[in-house]
Structure 1
Amino acid sequence: MAFLRPADLLSACAACVLLAAAGGLALAADMPVAPEVPTFAKLEQKLWIVTLTGNVQATPRSPGSDQYTAIGYPSVSIREAGTPQRFSTPDDGISFSIYDSAEFRFGVTARYVPGRYYRDDRRHLFGLRDAGFAIEPGVFVEYYPAAWLRARAELRHGVFGHHGFVGSIGLDAIQPIDRFQVSIGPRFNFGDQSFARRYFGVTPIEALVNRRVTAFEPGSYATVGGLGALTYTFSEQWAATGYVGYNRIVGSAADSPLVRRGYGTPNQFVFGAKADYSFTMPALF
Protein backbone atom coordinates (compact mmCIF):
# COMPACT_ATOMS: atom_id res chain seq x y z
CA MET A 1 0.00 0.00 0.00
CA ALA A 2 1.33 3.42 -0.92
CA PHE A 3 1.08 6.36 1.57
CA LEU A 4 0.69 10.03 0.60
CA ARG A 5 3.44 12.30 1.64
CA PRO A 6 2.49 15.33 3.73
CA ALA A 7 3.26 17.63 0.81
CA ASP A 8 0.94 15.67 -1.48
CA LEU A 9 -1.83 15.73 1.21
CA LEU A 10 -1.64 19.50 1.50
CA SER A 11 -1.82 19.85 -2.25
CA ALA A 12 -4.92 17.67 -2.40
CA CYS A 13 -6.68 19.65 0.36
CA ALA A 14 -5.93 22.94 -1.36
CA ALA A 15 -7.36 21.62 -4.60
CA CYS A 16 -10.60 20.58 -2.81
CA VAL A 17 -10.97 24.01 -1.24
CA LEU A 18 -10.54 25.71 -4.58
CA LEU A 19 -13.11 23.43 -6.23
CA ALA A 20 -15.63 24.02 -3.41
CA ALA A 21 -15.18 27.77 -3.62
CA ALA A 22 -15.62 27.73 -7.37
CA GLY A 23 -18.78 25.64 -7.04
CA GLY A 24 -20.16 27.95 -4.37
CA LEU A 25 -19.57 31.00 -6.55
CA ALA A 26 -21.30 29.35 -9.45
CA LEU A 27 -24.27 28.36 -7.25
CA ALA A 28 -24.51 31.88 -5.82
CA ALA A 29 -24.51 33.30 -9.33
CA ASP A 30 -27.50 31.12 -10.22
CA MET A 31 -29.62 32.19 -7.12
CA PRO A 32 -32.03 35.19 -7.40
CA VAL A 33 -31.03 38.31 -5.51
CA ALA A 34 -33.45 39.32 -2.68
CA PRO A 35 -34.90 42.84 -3.15
CA GLU A 36 -33.80 45.58 -0.76
CA VAL A 37 -36.23 46.37 2.05
CA PRO A 38 -37.71 49.86 1.32
CA THR A 39 -37.32 52.62 3.90
CA PHE A 40 -40.46 54.71 4.48
CA ALA A 41 -40.17 58.34 5.57
CA LYS A 42 -42.38 59.21 8.58
CA LEU A 43 -45.16 61.46 7.41
CA GLU A 44 -46.20 64.35 9.69
CA GLN A 45 -49.99 64.43 9.96
CA LYS A 46 -51.65 67.83 9.60
CA LEU A 47 -53.89 68.67 12.56
CA TRP A 48 -56.70 71.11 13.22
CA ILE A 49 -57.57 72.67 16.55
CA VAL A 50 -61.32 72.79 17.05
CA THR A 51 -62.72 75.16 19.70
CA LEU A 52 -66.28 74.64 20.92
CA THR A 53 -67.83 77.61 22.74
CA GLY A 54 -70.88 77.81 24.94
CA ASN A 55 -72.31 81.34 25.33
CA VAL A 56 -74.90 82.66 27.77
CA GLN A 57 -75.89 86.31 28.20
CA ALA A 58 -78.48 88.61 29.67
CA THR A 59 -79.59 91.09 27.03
CA PRO A 60 -82.53 93.47 26.48
CA ARG A 61 -85.62 91.52 25.47
CA SER A 62 -85.74 93.55 22.25
CA PRO A 63 -83.96 96.69 20.96
CA GLY A 64 -84.85 99.55 23.31
CA SER A 65 -86.48 97.34 25.96
CA ASP A 66 -85.96 97.84 29.70
CA GLN A 67 -86.65 94.15 30.34
CA TYR A 68 -83.99 91.46 30.01
CA THR A 69 -83.93 87.92 28.74
CA ALA A 70 -81.35 85.12 28.82
CA ILE A 71 -79.91 83.82 25.57
CA GLY A 72 -77.69 80.78 25.17
CA TYR A 73 -76.05 79.61 21.98
CA PRO A 74 -73.06 77.52 20.80
CA SER A 75 -70.33 78.43 18.34
CA VAL A 76 -67.31 76.69 16.82
CA SER A 77 -63.99 77.79 15.35
CA ILE A 78 -61.26 75.81 13.54
CA ARG A 79 -57.61 76.68 13.03
CA GLU A 80 -54.48 74.82 11.97
CA ALA A 81 -52.35 73.41 14.79
CA GLY A 82 -49.41 75.66 15.56
CA THR A 83 -51.22 78.88 14.66
CA PRO A 84 -52.33 81.24 17.46
CA GLN A 85 -56.00 81.56 18.30
CA ARG A 86 -57.67 84.61 16.79
CA PHE A 87 -58.85 87.29 19.18
CA SER A 88 -62.60 87.75 19.33
CA THR A 89 -65.08 89.52 21.57
CA PRO A 90 -68.43 88.19 22.81
CA ASP A 91 -70.36 90.76 20.77
CA ASP A 92 -68.78 89.63 17.50
CA GLY A 93 -71.22 87.91 15.20
CA ILE A 94 -70.74 84.20 14.54
CA SER A 95 -68.09 84.44 11.84
CA PHE A 96 -66.28 82.38 9.19
CA SER A 97 -63.12 83.77 7.59
CA ILE A 98 -62.63 83.77 3.83
CA TYR A 99 -59.24 85.48 4.00
CA ASP A 100 -57.02 85.53 7.08
CA SER A 101 -53.58 87.10 7.57
CA ALA A 102 -51.69 88.56 10.53
CA GLU A 103 -53.03 92.08 9.92
CA PHE A 104 -56.20 91.65 7.87
CA ARG A 105 -59.20 89.33 7.86
CA PHE A 106 -62.62 89.27 6.24
CA GLY A 107 -65.46 86.81 5.84
CA VAL A 108 -69.13 86.15 6.55
CA THR A 109 -70.97 86.63 9.83
CA ALA A 110 -74.44 86.41 11.39
CA ARG A 111 -76.22 87.67 14.49
CA TYR A 112 -79.45 86.96 16.36
CA VAL A 113 -81.77 89.78 17.50
CA PRO A 114 -84.50 89.00 20.09
CA GLY A 115 -88.04 90.00 19.20
CA ARG A 116 -90.71 92.11 20.88
CA TYR A 117 -93.98 90.27 21.52
CA TYR A 118 -97.32 91.33 23.01
CA ARG A 119 -97.30 88.36 25.41
CA ASP A 120 -94.18 89.77 27.10
CA ASP A 121 -95.95 92.91 28.37
CA ARG A 122 -99.69 92.84 27.68
CA ARG A 123 -100.34 96.11 29.48
CA HIS A 124 -97.88 98.37 27.68
CA LEU A 125 -97.76 96.60 24.31
CA PHE A 126 -101.53 96.34 23.84
CA GLY A 127 -102.43 97.19 20.25
CA LEU A 128 -98.83 97.22 19.04
CA ARG A 129 -97.71 94.75 16.40
CA ASP A 130 -95.11 92.13 17.27
CA ALA A 131 -91.58 92.70 16.04
CA GLY A 132 -90.35 89.12 15.76
CA PHE A 133 -86.83 87.85 16.30
CA ALA A 134 -84.43 88.33 13.42
CA ILE A 135 -81.39 86.62 11.97
CA GLU A 136 -78.88 89.03 10.43
CA PRO A 137 -76.42 87.46 7.96
CA GLY A 138 -73.70 89.68 6.53
CA VAL A 139 -69.99 90.29 6.09
CA PHE A 140 -67.20 91.47 8.39
CA VAL A 141 -63.70 92.92 8.07
CA GLU A 142 -60.94 93.18 10.68
CA TYR A 143 -57.71 95.15 10.71
CA TYR A 144 -54.83 95.11 13.20
CA PRO A 145 -52.87 98.39 13.01
CA ALA A 146 -50.85 96.97 15.94
CA ALA A 147 -50.65 93.57 17.62
CA TRP A 148 -52.56 94.93 20.65
CA LEU A 149 -55.26 96.81 18.72
CA ARG A 150 -58.10 95.41 16.60
CA ALA A 151 -60.64 97.29 14.48
CA ARG A 152 -63.73 95.40 13.27
CA ALA A 153 -66.73 96.36 11.16
CA GLU A 154 -69.83 94.36 10.23
CA LEU A 155 -72.59 95.01 7.69
CA ARG A 156 -75.65 92.77 7.93
CA HIS A 157 -79.17 92.43 6.51
CA GLY A 158 -82.11 91.22 8.55
CA VAL A 159 -84.36 88.29 7.70
CA PHE A 160 -87.61 87.21 9.42
CA GLY A 161 -88.06 89.94 12.09
CA HIS A 162 -86.90 92.86 9.97
CA HIS A 163 -85.51 93.42 6.49
CA GLY A 164 -83.27 96.43 7.00
CA PHE A 165 -79.53 96.95 6.88
CA VAL A 166 -77.65 97.18 10.17
CA GLY A 167 -74.00 97.37 11.08
CA SER A 168 -71.46 97.79 13.84
CA ILE A 169 -68.00 99.29 14.24
CA GLY A 170 -65.73 98.49 17.16
CA LEU A 171 -62.20 99.05 18.40
CA ASP A 172 -60.53 96.83 21.02
CA ALA A 173 -57.32 97.27 22.99
CA ILE A 174 -55.96 93.84 23.99
CA GLN A 175 -53.62 93.25 26.95
CA PRO A 176 -52.48 89.76 28.07
CA ILE A 177 -51.42 89.44 31.72
CA ASP A 178 -50.06 85.97 32.50
CA ARG A 179 -53.07 83.64 32.12
CA PHE A 180 -55.47 86.58 31.87
CA GLN A 181 -56.40 88.66 28.84
CA VAL A 182 -58.17 92.01 29.17
CA SER A 183 -59.89 93.76 26.26
CA ILE A 184 -61.87 96.99 26.18
CA GLY A 185 -63.05 99.36 23.50
CA PRO A 186 -65.78 101.63 22.06
CA ARG A 187 -68.75 100.53 19.96
CA PHE A 188 -70.99 102.19 17.39
CA ASN A 189 -74.07 100.42 16.01
CA PHE A 190 -76.43 101.68 13.33
CA GLY A 191 -79.53 100.68 11.39
CA ASP A 192 -81.51 102.06 8.48
CA GLN A 193 -85.06 103.35 8.53
CA SER A 194 -86.53 99.91 7.86
CA PHE A 195 -84.92 98.53 11.01
CA ALA A 196 -85.85 101.61 13.09
CA ARG A 197 -89.50 101.51 12.01
CA ARG A 198 -89.79 97.85 12.94
CA TYR A 199 -88.59 98.21 16.53
CA PHE A 200 -89.21 101.88 17.36
CA GLY A 201 -92.03 103.05 15.09
CA VAL A 202 -95.68 103.49 16.09
CA THR A 203 -98.37 103.77 13.41
CA PRO A 204 -101.40 106.06 13.88
CA ILE A 205 -103.69 103.02 14.21
CA GLU A 206 -101.44 101.46 16.89
CA ALA A 207 -101.40 104.76 18.80
CA LEU A 208 -105.21 104.97 18.60
CA VAL A 209 -105.67 101.42 19.94
CA ASN A 210 -102.98 101.64 22.63
CA ARG A 211 -103.91 105.18 23.82
CA ARG A 212 -100.68 105.38 25.87
CA VAL A 213 -98.30 106.23 23.04
CA THR A 214 -98.34 108.68 20.16
CA ALA A 215 -97.65 107.91 16.52
CA PHE A 216 -93.97 108.04 15.68
CA GLU A 217 -91.87 107.37 12.57
CA PRO A 218 -88.09 107.19 13.21
CA GLY A 219 -85.62 107.94 10.47
CA SER A 220 -82.75 105.72 11.62
CA TYR A 221 -81.21 103.87 14.55
CA ALA A 222 -77.86 104.37 16.26
CA THR A 223 -76.14 103.55 19.55
CA VAL A 224 -72.80 104.49 21.10
CA GLY A 225 -71.13 102.57 23.89
CA GLY A 226 -68.42 100.09 24.69
CA LEU A 227 -67.57 96.56 25.81
CA GLY A 228 -65.03 95.11 28.24
CA ALA A 229 -64.07 91.45 28.62
CA LEU A 230 -61.79 89.39 30.86
CA THR A 231 -60.55 85.94 29.77
CA TYR A 232 -58.76 83.37 31.93
CA THR A 233 -57.00 80.40 30.29
CA PHE A 234 -56.97 77.34 32.54
CA SER A 235 -55.09 75.07 30.11
CA GLU A 236 -54.65 74.37 26.41
CA GLN A 237 -58.14 72.87 26.47
CA TRP A 238 -60.16 75.22 28.67
CA ALA A 239 -60.74 78.98 28.88
CA ALA A 240 -63.53 81.17 30.31
CA THR A 241 -64.60 84.76 29.61
CA GLY A 242 -66.81 87.23 31.44
CA TYR A 243 -67.95 90.51 29.89
CA VAL A 244 -70.17 93.55 30.23
CA GLY A 245 -71.31 95.95 27.53
CA TYR A 246 -73.25 99.21 27.39
CA ASN A 247 -74.90 101.01 24.49
CA ARG A 248 -77.03 104.14 24.54
CA ILE A 249 -79.63 104.72 21.85
CA VAL A 250 -79.12 108.11 20.22
CA GLY A 251 -80.58 110.06 17.32
CA SER A 252 -84.02 109.55 15.88
CA ALA A 253 -84.80 106.24 17.57
CA ALA A 254 -84.07 107.74 21.01
CA ASP A 255 -87.19 109.94 20.60
CA SER A 256 -89.52 106.97 20.16
CA PRO A 257 -92.30 106.62 22.76
CA LEU A 258 -91.24 102.96 23.02
CA VAL A 259 -87.97 104.11 24.59
CA ARG A 260 -89.67 106.17 27.30
CA ARG A 261 -89.94 104.94 30.89
CA GLY A 262 -92.58 102.26 31.20
CA TYR A 263 -91.96 101.00 27.68
CA GLY A 264 -88.20 100.93 27.39
CA THR A 265 -84.98 102.81 27.97
CA PRO A 266 -82.18 104.26 25.85
CA ASN A 267 -79.64 102.59 28.17
CA GLN A 268 -78.93 99.09 26.91
CA PHE A 269 -76.71 96.75 28.97
CA VAL A 270 -75.51 93.25 28.22
CA PHE A 271 -73.88 90.82 30.68
CA GLY A 272 -72.52 87.45 29.76
CA ALA A 273 -70.03 84.63 30.02
CA LYS A 274 -68.64 81.98 27.72
CA ALA A 275 -66.55 78.82 28.07
CA ASP A 276 -64.17 77.45 25.42
CA TYR A 277 -63.08 73.83 25.00
CA SER A 278 -60.38 73.01 22.43
CA PHE A 279 -59.20 69.69 21.01
CA THR A 280 -57.21 68.46 18.02
CA MET A 281 -58.39 66.34 15.09
CA PRO A 282 -56.78 65.16 11.82
CA ALA A 283 -57.17 67.59 8.95
CA LEU A 284 -59.63 66.43 6.31
CA PHE A 285 -57.69 68.12 3.50
Structure 2
Amino acid sequence: MSAAKAESLADPKPVSGWIVTVSAHGGFSQTWEGSKNLSPFLLPGLSMRRPGASVGFSAPDEAPGFALYDNGFLKAGVSGRLRGPRQQSSWGELHGVHDIDWTVEAGGFAEFWTFQKLRARAELRHGFLGHHGMIAEIYLDWVEKHGAWTFSIGPRLTIGDQAYMNKLFGVTWKDALGNGSVPPYVAAWGVKSFGAMAAVKYDWSQDWSTTAFLRYNRLVGSAAASPLVTNLGSANQWMLGLSVSYSFYVDMF
Protein backbone atom coordinates (compact mmCIF):
# COMPACT_ATOMS: atom_id res chain seq x y z
CA MET A 1 0.00 0.00 0.00
CA SER A 2 1.43 3.35 -1.01
CA ALA A 3 1.34 6.48 1.11
CA ALA A 4 -1.78 8.61 0.93
CA LYS A 5 -1.64 11.31 -1.71
CA ALA A 6 -3.80 14.36 -2.39
CA GLU A 7 -4.74 15.45 -5.89
CA SER A 8 -6.50 18.47 -7.37
CA LEU A 9 -9.96 17.80 -8.75
CA ALA A 10 -8.63 18.96 -12.10
CA ASP A 11 -6.19 16.02 -12.13
CA PRO A 12 -7.21 12.53 -13.33
CA LYS A 13 -9.61 11.05 -10.81
CA PRO A 14 -8.46 8.07 -8.74
CA VAL A 15 -10.78 5.08 -8.69
CA SER A 16 -10.69 4.77 -4.89
CA GLY A 17 -10.33 6.95 -1.81
CA TRP A 18 -12.30 10.05 -0.84
CA ILE A 19 -13.07 13.56 -2.01
CA VAL A 20 -12.26 15.76 0.99
CA THR A 21 -13.46 19.34 1.37
CA VAL A 22 -11.80 21.51 4.00
CA SER A 23 -13.29 24.90 4.86
CA ALA A 24 -12.60 27.97 6.93
CA HIS A 25 -15.61 29.93 8.17
CA GLY A 26 -15.08 33.43 9.52
CA GLY A 27 -17.27 36.39 10.34
CA PHE A 28 -19.33 37.80 13.19
CA SER A 29 -21.91 36.17 15.47
CA GLN A 30 -23.30 36.71 18.97
CA THR A 31 -20.54 36.61 21.60
CA TRP A 32 -22.54 33.89 23.41
CA GLU A 33 -25.93 32.41 22.54
CA GLY A 34 -28.50 34.91 23.73
CA SER A 35 -26.04 37.82 23.83
CA LYS A 36 -26.88 41.24 22.39
CA ASN A 37 -23.32 41.82 21.14
CA LEU A 38 -21.42 40.52 18.13
CA SER A 39 -17.83 39.25 18.09
CA PRO A 40 -15.60 37.71 15.40
CA PHE A 41 -15.34 33.95 14.92
CA LEU A 42 -13.20 31.57 12.89
CA LEU A 43 -14.05 27.88 12.69
CA PRO A 44 -12.89 24.96 10.52
CA GLY A 45 -15.11 22.66 8.47
CA LEU A 46 -14.61 19.20 6.98
CA SER A 47 -16.72 16.99 4.73
CA MET A 48 -16.04 13.84 2.70
CA ARG A 49 -17.65 11.94 -0.15
CA ARG A 50 -16.75 9.02 -2.36
CA PRO A 51 -15.48 9.67 -5.91
CA GLY A 52 -18.43 9.61 -8.25
CA ALA A 53 -20.95 10.66 -5.58
CA SER A 54 -23.05 13.70 -6.39
CA VAL A 55 -21.61 17.04 -5.26
CA GLY A 56 -25.06 18.36 -4.40
CA PHE A 57 -25.70 21.47 -2.30
CA SER A 58 -24.60 22.34 1.21
CA ALA A 59 -25.55 25.40 3.25
CA PRO A 60 -22.81 27.21 5.20
CA ASP A 61 -24.70 26.85 8.50
CA GLU A 62 -25.28 23.08 8.34
CA ALA A 63 -23.10 20.65 10.30
CA PRO A 64 -20.24 19.14 8.24
CA GLY A 65 -20.32 15.41 7.57
CA PHE A 66 -20.38 12.73 4.93
CA ALA A 67 -23.10 10.59 3.41
CA LEU A 68 -23.34 6.86 4.02
CA TYR A 69 -26.27 6.59 1.61
CA ASP A 70 -26.88 8.73 -1.48
CA ASN A 71 -29.17 7.89 -4.38
CA GLY A 72 -29.23 11.41 -5.81
CA PHE A 73 -32.65 12.15 -4.29
CA LEU A 74 -32.23 11.02 -0.68
CA LYS A 75 -29.02 11.36 1.28
CA ALA A 76 -28.21 10.28 4.86
CA GLY A 77 -25.04 10.01 6.91
CA VAL A 78 -23.06 11.22 9.90
CA SER A 79 -22.37 14.82 10.86
CA GLY A 80 -20.69 16.82 13.58
CA ARG A 81 -20.19 20.36 14.76
CA LEU A 82 -17.64 22.15 16.94
CA ARG A 83 -18.97 24.94 19.16
CA GLY A 84 -16.86 27.52 20.91
CA PRO A 85 -16.84 28.06 24.69
CA ARG A 86 -18.79 30.51 26.84
CA GLN A 87 -16.54 31.86 29.60
CA GLN A 88 -17.55 34.38 32.23
CA SER A 89 -14.01 35.73 32.29
CA SER A 90 -14.39 36.85 28.65
CA TRP A 91 -17.69 38.75 29.02
CA GLY A 92 -18.30 41.04 31.97
CA GLU A 93 -22.10 40.68 31.91
CA LEU A 94 -21.72 36.93 32.58
CA HIS A 95 -19.73 37.40 35.80
CA GLY A 96 -20.57 34.55 38.16
CA VAL A 97 -22.49 32.51 35.53
CA HIS A 98 -21.28 28.95 34.85
CA ASP A 99 -18.86 28.40 31.96
CA ILE A 100 -19.51 26.17 28.95
CA ASP A 101 -16.44 24.46 27.49
CA TRP A 102 -15.72 23.73 23.84
CA THR A 103 -18.41 21.31 22.66
CA VAL A 104 -18.30 18.52 20.10
CA GLU A 105 -21.76 17.67 18.73
CA ALA A 106 -21.90 14.35 16.87
CA GLY A 107 -24.85 12.68 15.18
CA GLY A 108 -26.47 12.17 11.82
CA PHE A 109 -28.46 13.85 9.08
CA ALA A 110 -30.99 13.09 6.37
CA GLU A 111 -31.92 15.27 3.43
CA PHE A 112 -34.01 15.05 0.30
CA TRP A 113 -35.13 17.26 -2.57
CA THR A 114 -38.89 17.81 -2.44
CA PHE A 115 -38.70 19.64 -5.76
CA GLN A 116 -35.85 20.23 -8.17
CA LYS A 117 -34.82 23.42 -6.36
CA LEU A 118 -36.13 22.82 -2.82
CA ARG A 119 -34.01 20.88 -0.33
CA ALA A 120 -35.14 19.70 3.11
CA ARG A 121 -32.57 18.61 5.69
CA ALA A 122 -32.78 17.43 9.31
CA GLU A 123 -29.91 16.88 11.77
CA LEU A 124 -29.88 15.23 15.19
CA ARG A 125 -26.73 15.58 17.31
CA HIS A 126 -25.57 14.80 20.85
CA GLY A 127 -23.18 17.06 22.72
CA PHE A 128 -19.93 16.06 24.41
CA LEU A 129 -17.65 18.04 26.75
CA GLY A 130 -19.37 21.46 26.90
CA HIS A 131 -22.95 20.18 27.04
CA HIS A 132 -24.43 16.69 27.05
CA GLY A 133 -27.83 17.35 25.52
CA MET A 134 -29.58 16.58 22.23
CA ILE A 135 -30.18 19.17 19.54
CA ALA A 136 -32.23 18.91 16.34
CA GLU A 137 -32.02 21.35 13.46
CA ILE A 138 -34.31 21.57 10.43
CA TYR A 139 -33.30 23.36 7.23
CA LEU A 140 -35.29 24.25 4.13
CA ASP A 141 -33.45 25.85 1.19
CA TRP A 142 -34.57 27.15 -2.18
CA VAL A 143 -31.50 26.80 -4.42
CA GLU A 144 -30.83 28.63 -7.69
CA LYS A 145 -27.74 27.80 -9.76
CA HIS A 146 -26.55 30.07 -12.55
CA GLY A 147 -23.17 29.10 -13.97
CA ALA A 148 -20.53 29.45 -11.27
CA TRP A 149 -23.01 31.18 -8.92
CA THR A 150 -25.31 29.45 -6.43
CA PHE A 151 -27.95 31.40 -4.52
CA SER A 152 -29.88 29.90 -1.60
CA ILE A 153 -32.39 31.08 0.98
CA GLY A 154 -34.68 29.35 3.44
CA PRO A 155 -36.07 29.01 6.98
CA ARG A 156 -34.44 27.35 9.99
CA LEU A 157 -35.77 25.69 13.16
CA THR A 158 -33.79 24.50 16.19
CA ILE A 159 -35.05 22.24 19.00
CA GLY A 160 -33.21 21.19 22.15
CA ASP A 161 -33.82 18.78 25.02
CA GLN A 162 -33.76 19.95 28.64
CA ALA A 163 -30.09 19.08 29.22
CA TYR A 164 -29.09 21.23 26.25
CA MET A 165 -31.47 24.11 26.94
CA ASN A 166 -30.72 24.28 30.66
CA LYS A 167 -26.96 24.27 30.07
CA LEU A 168 -27.20 27.24 27.69
CA PHE A 169 -30.07 29.20 29.22
CA GLY A 170 -30.50 27.95 32.78
CA VAL A 171 -29.39 29.93 35.85
CA THR A 172 -28.44 28.10 39.04
CA TRP A 173 -28.68 29.61 42.52
CA LYS A 174 -24.89 29.89 42.49
CA ASP A 175 -25.04 31.73 39.16
CA ALA A 176 -27.69 34.12 40.47
CA LEU A 177 -25.76 34.92 43.64
CA GLY A 178 -22.50 35.36 41.74
CA ASN A 179 -23.97 37.58 39.02
CA GLY A 180 -26.55 39.64 40.90
CA SER A 181 -28.51 40.64 37.77
CA VAL A 182 -30.31 37.36 37.00
CA PRO A 183 -32.62 35.20 39.14
CA PRO A 184 -32.47 31.38 39.21
CA TYR A 185 -34.12 29.80 36.17
CA VAL A 186 -34.65 26.28 34.83
CA ALA A 187 -34.95 26.08 31.04
CA ALA A 188 -37.24 23.44 29.52
CA TRP A 189 -36.95 21.42 26.34
CA GLY A 190 -38.64 22.64 23.17
CA VAL A 191 -38.13 24.93 20.22
CA LYS A 192 -35.11 27.13 20.84
CA SER A 193 -35.25 29.38 17.79
CA PHE A 194 -36.57 29.94 14.30
CA GLY A 195 -35.01 32.04 11.58
CA ALA A 196 -33.65 32.14 8.04
CA MET A 197 -30.39 31.85 6.12
CA ALA A 198 -29.34 33.45 2.82
CA ALA A 199 -26.10 32.61 1.01
CA VAL A 200 -24.26 33.33 -2.24
CA LYS A 201 -21.56 30.92 -3.45
CA TYR A 202 -19.06 31.34 -6.28
CA ASP A 203 -17.03 28.44 -7.68
CA TRP A 204 -13.64 29.74 -8.76
CA SER A 205 -12.67 26.29 -10.05
CA GLN A 206 -13.40 22.62 -9.38
CA ASP A 207 -11.18 22.93 -6.31
CA TRP A 208 -11.97 26.34 -4.80
CA SER A 209 -15.16 28.13 -3.80
CA THR A 210 -16.18 31.12 -1.68
CA THR A 211 -19.51 31.64 0.10
CA ALA A 212 -20.95 34.77 1.72
CA PHE A 213 -23.82 34.19 4.14
CA LEU A 214 -26.23 35.85 6.56
CA ARG A 215 -28.39 34.09 9.14
CA TYR A 216 -30.97 35.50 11.55
CA ASN A 217 -32.40 33.56 14.52
CA ARG A 218 -35.14 34.59 16.91
CA LEU A 219 -34.97 32.88 20.28
CA VAL A 220 -38.37 31.67 21.46
CA GLY A 221 -39.98 29.70 24.28
CA SER A 222 -37.82 28.73 27.23
CA ALA A 223 -34.70 30.20 25.60
CA ALA A 224 -36.26 33.63 25.09
CA ALA A 225 -37.69 33.63 28.65
CA SER A 226 -34.27 33.01 30.23
CA PRO A 227 -33.05 35.94 32.37
CA LEU A 228 -29.70 35.59 30.60
CA VAL A 229 -31.55 36.76 27.49
CA THR A 230 -34.14 39.14 28.96
CA ASN A 231 -31.79 40.83 31.47
CA LEU A 232 -28.37 40.57 29.83
CA GLY A 233 -28.87 39.82 26.14
CA SER A 234 -31.34 39.79 23.25
CA ALA A 235 -33.65 37.32 21.54
CA ASN A 236 -32.40 38.55 18.15
CA GLN A 237 -29.37 36.56 17.01
CA TRP A 238 -27.25 37.24 13.92
CA MET A 239 -24.45 35.51 12.04
CA LEU A 240 -22.76 36.93 8.97
CA GLY A 241 -19.58 35.79 7.37
CA LEU A 242 -17.51 34.33 4.59
CA SER A 243 -16.28 30.79 4.02
CA VAL A 244 -13.55 29.46 1.74
CA SER A 245 -13.51 25.79 0.71
CA TYR A 246 -10.94 23.62 -1.01
CA SER A 247 -11.72 20.14 -2.34
CA PHE A 248 -9.21 17.45 -3.26
CA TYR A 249 -8.92 13.71 -3.77
CA VAL A 250 -7.15 11.50 -1.27
CA ASP A 251 -6.21 8.09 -2.73
CA MET A 252 -5.25 5.54 -0.09
CA PHE A 253 -3.99 2.92 -2.56
Range into which the TM-score falls when normalised by the shorter chain:
0.7 to 0.9
Deviations 1:239-264 (A, max 9, x none): 21111101110011101110025x22
- CA 197–45 in structure 1, closer or farther in 2 if over 3 Å, else same: closer
Q: Distance in 2 between matches of 1:192 and 1:73?
A: 26
Structure with more strand by fraction: 2
**2:219 aligned to which of 236, 249, 266:** 249
CA distance in structure 1 between the aligned counterparts of 2:19 and 2:102, rounded to whole angstroms: 33
Q: Secondary structure at the match of 1:197?
A: helix
Distance 1:215 1:222 in 2: 19
Deviations 1:15-46 (A, max 9, x none): xxxxxxxxxxxxxxxxxxxxxxxxxxxxx962
Matched residue of 1:119: which SS? Answer: coil
Deviations 1:208-248 (A, max 9, x none): 33221111112135100010110111222322111110111
Are 2:158 and 1:189 aligned? yes
Report what 2:112 is aligned to. Answer: 143
Distance 1:80 1:200, change over 3 A: same
Structure 2: give runs of 5+ residues left out of the alignment: 1-12
- Which position in structure 2 is the counterpart of 1:207? 176
Normalising by structure 2, what TM-score? 0.86
1:219 aligns with 2:161: no
Distance 1:163 1:279, change over 3 A: closer
Look at both structures and tell me which one has the larger radius of gyration over its CA atoms.
1
**Which secondary structure state, in structure 1, belongs to the residue aligned with residue 89 of structure 2?**
helix
2:3 counterpart residue number:
none
Structure 1: 5+ residue stretches without partners: 1-43
Secondary structure of the residue that 1:232 maps to in structure 2? strand
Partner of 1:20: none
CA contact (8 A) 1:136 1:156 kept: yes
- Any idea what SS the aligned residue of 1:80 has? coil
The letter of the residue matching 1:72 is L
Q: Distance in 2 between matches of 1:213 and 1:45?
A: 59
| Number of aligned residue pairs | 238
Q: Is the 8 A contact 1:61 1:115 kept in 2?
A: no
Identity of aligned residues (%): 35
Q: Which is worse superposed, 151-160 or 228-237?
A: 228-237
Q: CA deviation at 1:119?
A: 0.8
Choose from 277, 280, 285 the match for 2:246.
Answer: 277
Q: How do 1:75-86 residues align onto structure 2 when only pairs under 5 Å count?
A: 75-81=46-52, 83-86=53-56
More helix by percentage: 1
TM-score of the superposition, structure 1-length normalised?
A: 0.77
Higher-RCO chain (CA-CA 8 Å, sequence separation at least 6):
2
2:7 match: none
Paired amino acid for 1:147: Q
Report the Cα offset of residue 273 of structure 1: 1.4
Other-structure match for 1:232: 202
Which of 47, 53, 59 pairs up with 1:89?
A: 59
> Structure 1 residue 128: deviation in Å?
1.6
1:73 to 44, 51, 54: 44
Aligned equivalent of 2:83, options 103, 106, 113: 113
**Cα-Cα RMSD:** 2.1
**C-alpha distance 170-240 of structure 1, shift in aligned 2 (>3 A):** same
Q: Structure 1, residues 92-138: CA drift from partner, whole Å, max 9, x if none? A: 1111211111111111111122222111123x222221122211101
132-141 or 203-212, which deviates more: 203-212
Q: Which amino acid aligns with 1:110?
A: G
